[in-house]
């Protein structure tokens, strides 16, 4: 399903094929937590913004509207009207970060809903069943995401349990894909590498999970408290152990600079709420760095958000107008800024792909790595 087209050092240009379309990698997945990208974007907007993949959150959709309801409504593609690939996370990350009063056993996790506090149990089988109801293109394995810094012993035993859970995920997904009423019988399962910031645990874990020959592999448990340098060190440690013929997904990362650094280290796929969340607070990513649109200096600025951008927002609206909309508390401010940022992230990945195609990734990296992190 994954085809490696070319390398530049560890960086990889590839594509992978799914029943819902082919994804050119490196790629960014656009986060639609509850079935919609925050900031008022619908599936109708996504094609204009160069989106390839939509990511939806299992935990949120399980609580509301309920995965059984999404199944009755034909699955996430039918529900959200996005016809491209959809990846669902496993719910694990949210269970460990949002839910309260959680209790972990070998079976799974009992936790209280962050909406109304009612008790829910989720284990590998439950996560697979929910994701099967949601009928995403790619389901993620149910794992424990340990916050950094972690105790070595806890990280090791958690990792080992996550591997045992992965076998249960695989068995359950195989079973679900054979059920006659399954919406997407070709739903893929991707595994998740854990091991906190310990290189030996990461490598051991990767060796174990690659045995299952899954459709793709993610690096999880990063960007959860450690420094960027630690994150890059772990990617460098684990990357040589990742299958060459499978897509590699770095979960929840990150800034434009984080993405460029991680592509350089062999990662293919990313997701992050940053483009939409930062936009809602007035922060616009540009090729010259990040702008705070609340700044009074934009009051009479007739230039677009980004002079190098040809998104629908930059083709039509001025910084002055967007600044005014933010100051006035108009919802349109957030929508326009989210649209631009989503387009920016997808364009960044497109430019990275193009530089790999043209054998100038290193040059692209050098020209952009500092600017992308600037505040202007």
Binding site for its own copies (CB under 8 A): 34-44, 60, 64-65, 69, 72-74, 79-81, 299-300, 302, 312, 316-318, 320-321, 323-325, 327-328, 330-332, 334-336
Nearer to its own copies, 80 or 278 (CB): 80
Dihedral of alpha carbons 289, 290, 293, 297, sign: negative
Nearer to its own copies, 66 or 149 (CB): 66
**Minimum distance from residue 165 beta carbon to its own copies (Å):** 28
For 24, phi then psi, to 5°, come to -85, 130
Strand partners, 216: 190
- Residue 310 labelled as part of a binding site: no
Nearer to its own copies, 168 or 323 (CB): 323
Nearer to its own copies, 81 or 119 (CB): 81
- Residue 254 labelled as part of a binding site: no
| Catalytic residue (choose from 67, 215, 271, 306) | 271
Alpha carbon distance 220, 271 (integer Å): 11
**Minimum distance from residue 333 beta carbon to its own copies (Å):** 8
Whether the CB-CB separation of 220 and 336 falls below 8 Å is answered with: no
Task: Please report the beta strands in the chain, taking only residues with DSSP state E, as ranges in sequence order.
Answer: 2-8, 11-18, 21-25, 27-31, 53-56, 86-88, 100-104, 109-112, 119-122, 138-140, 188-193, 216-219, 248-250, 269-272, 283-286, 289-292
- Residue 90 labelled as part of a binding site: yes
**Minimum distance from residue 230 beta carbon to its own copies (Å):** 35
- Residue 142 labelled as part of a binding site: no
**Minimum distance from residue 133 beta carbon to its own copies (Å):** 14
Nearer to its own copies, 242 or 336 (CB): 336
- Residue 132 labelled as part of a binding site: no
Nearer to its own copies, 320 or 360 (CB): 320
Alpha carbon distance 40, 155 (integer Å): 39
Whether residue 268 lies in the annotated active site: no
- Residue 311 labelled as part of a binding site: yes
Of 240, 228, 340, 215, which is closest to residue 282 (Cα–Cα)?
340
**Minimum distance from residue 8 beta carbon to its own copies (Å):** 38
| Catalytic residue (choose from 89, 215, 268, 306) | 89
What are the C-alpha distances in Å from 278 to residues 32, 227, 275, 305, 337?
A: 15, 20, 6, 14, 9
- Residue 221 labelled as part of a binding site: yes
Alpha carbon distance 259, 321 (integer Å): 30
Whether residue 271 lies in the annotated active site: yes
**Minimum distance from residue 319 beta carbon to its own copies (Å):** 10
Alpha carbon distance 107, 181 (integer Å): 26
- Residue 169 labelled as part of a binding site: no
Of 29, 41, 27, which is closest to residue 279 (Cα–Cα)?
41
What are the C-alpha distances in Å from 214 to residues 114, 191, 232, 273, 333?
A: 32, 7, 24, 26, 42
Q: What is the DSSP letter of 313?
A: H
Dihedral of alpha carbons 51, 57, 58, 62, sign: negative
- Residue 91 labelled as part of a binding site: yes
**Minimum distance from residue 336 beta carbon to its own copies (Å):** 7
Nearer to its own copies, 70 or 214 (CB): 70
Catalytically annotated residues: 89, 271
Binding residues for substrate: 89-93, 143, 194, 221
């Amino acid at each position: 399903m994954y085809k490696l087209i070319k390398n530049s050092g560890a960086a990889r240009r590839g594509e992978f094929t799914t029943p819902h379309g082919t994804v050119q990698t490196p790629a960014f997945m656009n986060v639609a937590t509850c079935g919609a990208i925050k900031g008022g974007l619908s599936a109708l907007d996504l094609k204009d913004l160069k989106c390839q993949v939509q990511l939806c959150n299992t935990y949120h959709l399980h609580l509301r509207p309920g995965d059984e309801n999404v199944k009755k409504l034909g699955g996430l593609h039918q529900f959200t009207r996005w016809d491209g690939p959809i990846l669902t996370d496993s719910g694990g990350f949210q269970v460990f970060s949002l839910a309260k009063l959680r209790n972990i056993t070998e079976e799974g996790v009992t936790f209280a809903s962050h909406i109304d506090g009612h008790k829910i149990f989720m284990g590998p089988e439950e996560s697979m069943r929910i994701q099967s109801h949601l009928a995403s293109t790619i389901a993620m394995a149910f794992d424990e995401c340990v916050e950094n810094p972690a105790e070595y012993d806890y990280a090791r035993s958690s990792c080992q349990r996550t591997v045992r859970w992965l076998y249960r995920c695989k068995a359950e997904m195989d079973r679900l894909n054979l059920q006659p009423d399954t919406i997407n019988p070709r739903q893929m399962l991707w595994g998740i590498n854990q091991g906190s910031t310990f290189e030996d645990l990461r490598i051991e874990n990767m060796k174990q999970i690659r045995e299952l020959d899954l459709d793709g592999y993610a690096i999880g448990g990063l960007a959860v408290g450690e420094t960027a340098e630690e994150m890059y060190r772990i990617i460098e440690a684990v990357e040589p152990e990742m299958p060459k013929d499978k897509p590699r997904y770095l979960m929840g990362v990150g800034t434009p600079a984080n993405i460029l650094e991680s592509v350089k280290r062999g990662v293919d796929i990313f997701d992050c709420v940053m483009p939409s969340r930062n936009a809602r607070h007035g922060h616009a990513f540009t090729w010259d760095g990040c702008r705070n649109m609340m700044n009074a200096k934009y009051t009479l600025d007739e230039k677009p958000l980004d002079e190098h951008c040809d998104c629908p927002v930059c083709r039509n609206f001025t910084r002055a107008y967007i600044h005014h909309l933010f100051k006035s508390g108009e919802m349109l401010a957030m929508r326009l800024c989210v649209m631009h940022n989503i387009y920016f992230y997808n364009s960044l990945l497109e430019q990275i792909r193009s530089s790999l195609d043209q054998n100038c990734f290193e040059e692209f990296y050098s020209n952009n790595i500092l600017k992308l992190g600037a505040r202007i």
